[in-house]
Amino acid sequence: MSFLDKLFGKKETPAPEPEAEGPLTLKQKELVQGSWEKCIPIAETAAELFYGRLFEIAPEVKPLFKDSDMKEQGKKLMQMITVAVKGLDTLGELVPAVQKLGERHNGYGVEAKHYDYVGEALLWTLGKGLGDDFTSETEEAWTITYTTLANVMIEAQGKA
């Protein structure tokens, strides 16, 4: 800033945030990706915690999984979240796959309101897994990530 600008009180314009694609800022994307990295080594436990919590808060969804091998199901869920979290860098490519996933969820008997329970169980699990690293900023970034995914799925299910 020049001496004259300082003298006349011209404000320094802050550097603009680098453009982010999609609903997350770059910072939020890094928070989600960084925190998920930390969960991968404990994925199996995290999946168990997740379903335990889900069935506790929403026992009515338990019958949807009556024929499921929960260990396999846990793996698939964690893999899908990993794909989605990586895909935050290339959202355009991710959307069609998430839409197809949503369409398949019609066949599993999933309703729009179930996504709230899954979101709640997911955030709770992240809190358990990450401890102090699950800051309010990280929580907010995950809430946006999950809500975005869930909305694409609900819309693809024709239940929006």
What are the residues binding ligand HEM (CB under 6 A)? 61, 64-65, 67-68, 73, 76-77, 80, 101, 104-105, 108, 110, 114-115, 118, 149-150, 153
Are the C-beta atoms of residues 39 and 126 closer than 8 Å to each other?
yes
In this complex, which beta carbon is closest to ligand HEM, that of residue 31 or of residue 122? 122
Query: Distance between CA 38 and CA 48 in Å, rounded?
Result: 16
> How far apart are the C-alpha atoms of 101 and 56, rounded to whole Å?
25
Identify which of residues 128 and 159 has a Cβ nearer to ligand HEM in the complex. Answer: 159
CB-nearer residue toward ligand HEM: 6 or 76: 76
Q: Is 118 helix (H, G, I), strand (E, B) or coil?
A: helix
Residue 114 is encoded by which pair of tokens? Answer: 């179930």
How many CA atoms lie within 13 Å of 79's alpha carbon, on the beta-carbon side? 7
Residue 66 beta carbon to ligand HEM: minimum distance, rounded to whole angstroms: 9
Minimum distance of ligand HEM from residue 11's CB (angstroms): 43
Rounded-to-10 torsion of CA 53, 58, 64, 70: 10
The least distance separating ligand HEM from the CB of residue 87, rounded to whole angstroms, comes to 11
How near is the Cβ of 50 to ligand HEM at its closest, in Å? 11
- Closer by beta carbon to ligand HEM, 28 or else 148: 148
